[in-house]
């Protein structure tokens, strides 16, 4: 089959690789009909995630038709059209029993690597390094889906791929980012990052009852989508001081909750950003946390800092004094996608949200290497790429 594989930082290649096979009774093989490039794929592409190897197949947002199942599957059947959740979860361990699917204790065969870096291992993830299990990703013609009964949702007849594809990751991730804010009527929510997850976090904040949502970015095309499609107010951080502007917009108190939808490759214009960039380049710091610092400093006292942007390791100059002395609550986590797939599918079916609003580019799988460059460099007003194998 054809698959988009990692070559070296900044380079992927579509090449022929062996077809996936059933390895365990609870597996399914899915013929992929739609897949997408995620912002967190860029962390792999840019070489910031450890244990990525040449030949690894990228992609954790995908869906398609089930063409084969293991003899232990009960729910998923050959011929089903399914969306696949990006965290791989067994459905029966301590964490899965509490719907903490991205913390599954049984799905990462390379847990020992993650334990050395993080203390405990999260779940395995499709196409996201050997530390996360070394599973082949979904930017390919086929994928093996472990624990298929737990990690898939059947697509109802009449719904298009593009309506449901983002249930695999970015819609649940943005929704969880907003849900963790425990939004009350009248709340003001500020979201750093107007990329796909940030846009879904903004839309979800409104779904959950926020009165005002403020999107922060530097890319005008993304700020425009936040204004026109999500009805958010916006701040271009290259043109305005974010802290001062947010205080002016909130009577000096600050937003009730803030969401970091950017993560480890944040950009900025401050001296601290330049320090972070140098330290990251010299491998003295894993991540560039300037958005997280800004979000903490801007949040009102007693508010919530929700972090759904991806971080990989250690960060410097974390303002713990501000967190502690102002009673801030930090909520974070890789999304427990399986928890959200069914309720968010119902919201789409009811017409409460149309997830297709952020798709800007559609391409063939063979165009994946070029689309990675377009997406990374934010060329051609690119926000979301959907690939067709």
What average pLDDT score do residues 352-375 get? Answer: 97
The DSSP letter of residue 9 is T
- Cβ contact 85:96 at 8 Å: no
What average pLDDT score do residues 375-387 get? Answer: 96
Tokens of 211: 């009165």
CA max distance for the chain? 61
- The pLDDT-based confidence of 123 (bands split at 50, 70, 90) is very high
What average pLDDT score do residues 183-192 get? Answer: 97
What average pLDDT score do residues 156-183 get? Answer: 98
Nearest to 227, CA basis, from 261, 202, 248, 259: 202
Strands 124-125 and 87-88: antiparallel
Burial 43-82 (b: 16+ CB within 10 A, else e): bbbeebbeebeeebbbbbbbbbebebbbeebeebeeebbb
* Residue pLDDT, tens place only, 137-148: 999 999 999 999
Q: What is the pLDDT of residue 168?
A: 98
Give the domains, in start order, of the chain with CATH numbers.
Answer: 2-168+335-387 (3.90.180.10), 171-332 (3.40.50.720)
What average pLDDT score do residues 304-324 get? Answer: 93
Q: What is the pLDDT of residue 184?
A: 96
Conformational region of residue 9, where left means phi above 0, alpha means psi within -120 to 50, and beta covers everything else: beta
Q: What are phi and psi of 3, to 5 degrees?
A: -155, 150
Q: Is 187 exposed, middle or buried (0-12, 13-18, 19+ CB in 10 A)?
A: buried
Nearest 10 degrees: Cα torsion 361, 367, 369, 373: -30
Helix (H) or strand (E) holding 145: strand 142-145
Q: What is the pLDDT of residue 375?
A: 96
Nearest to 167, CA basis, from 77, 61, 79: 61
Q: What is the pLDDT of residue 127?
A: 97
pTM of the model: 0.96
73 Cβ contact list (under 8 Å, min separation 6)? 25, 26, 27, 28, 148, 149
Nearest to 315, CA basis, from 248, 265, 258: 265
């Amino acid at each position: 089959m054809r698959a988009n594989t990692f070559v070296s930082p900044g380079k992927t290649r579509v090449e022929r690789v062996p077809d996936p096979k059933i390895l365990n009774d609870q597996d399914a093989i899915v013929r992929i009909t739609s897949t997408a490039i995620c912002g967190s794929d860029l962390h792999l592409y840019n070489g910031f995630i450890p244990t990525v190897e040449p030949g690894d197949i990228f992609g954790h947002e995908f869906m398609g038709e089930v063409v084969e199942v293991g003899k232990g599957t009960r729910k998923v059947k050959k011929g089903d059209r399914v969306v696949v959740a990006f965290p791989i979860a067994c459905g029966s361990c301590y964490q899965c029993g509490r719907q903490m699917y991205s913390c599954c204790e049984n799905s990462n065969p390379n847990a020992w690597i993650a334990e050395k870096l993080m203390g405990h291992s999260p779940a395995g993830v499709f196409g996201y390094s050997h530390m996360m299990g070394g599973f082949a990703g979904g930017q390919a013609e086929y994928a093996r889906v472990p624990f298929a009964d737990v990690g898939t949702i059947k697509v109802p007849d009449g719904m298009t791929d593009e309506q449901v594809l983002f249930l695999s990751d970015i819609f649940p991730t943005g929704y969880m980012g907003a849900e963790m804010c425990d939004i009350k009527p009248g709340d003001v929510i500020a979201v750093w990052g107007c990329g796909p997850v940030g846009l879904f976090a903004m839309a979800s904040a409104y779904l959950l009852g926020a009165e005002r949502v403020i999107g922060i970015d530097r890319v005008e095309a993304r700020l425009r989508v936040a204004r026109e499609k999500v009805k958010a107010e916006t701040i271009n951080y290259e043109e305005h001081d974010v802290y001062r502007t947010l205080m002016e917009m909130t009577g000096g108190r600050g937003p009730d909750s803030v969401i970091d939808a950017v993560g480890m490759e944040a950009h900025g214009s401050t001296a601290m950003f330049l320090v972070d960039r140098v330290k990251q380049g010299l491998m003295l710091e894993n991540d560039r946390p300037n958005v997280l610092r800004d979000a903490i400093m801007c949040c009102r006292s007693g508010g919530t800092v929700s972090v759904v942007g991806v971080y990989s390791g250690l960060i410097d100059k974390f303002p713990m004094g501000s967190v502690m002395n102002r009673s801030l609550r930090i909520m974070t986590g890789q999304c427990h996608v399986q928890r959200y797939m069914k309720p968010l599918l119902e919201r789409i079916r009811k017409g409460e949200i149309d997830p297709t609003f952020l798709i800007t580019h559609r391409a063939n799988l063979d165009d994946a290497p070029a689309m990675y460059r377009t997406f990374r460099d934010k060329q051609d007003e690119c926000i979301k790429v959907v690939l067709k194998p």
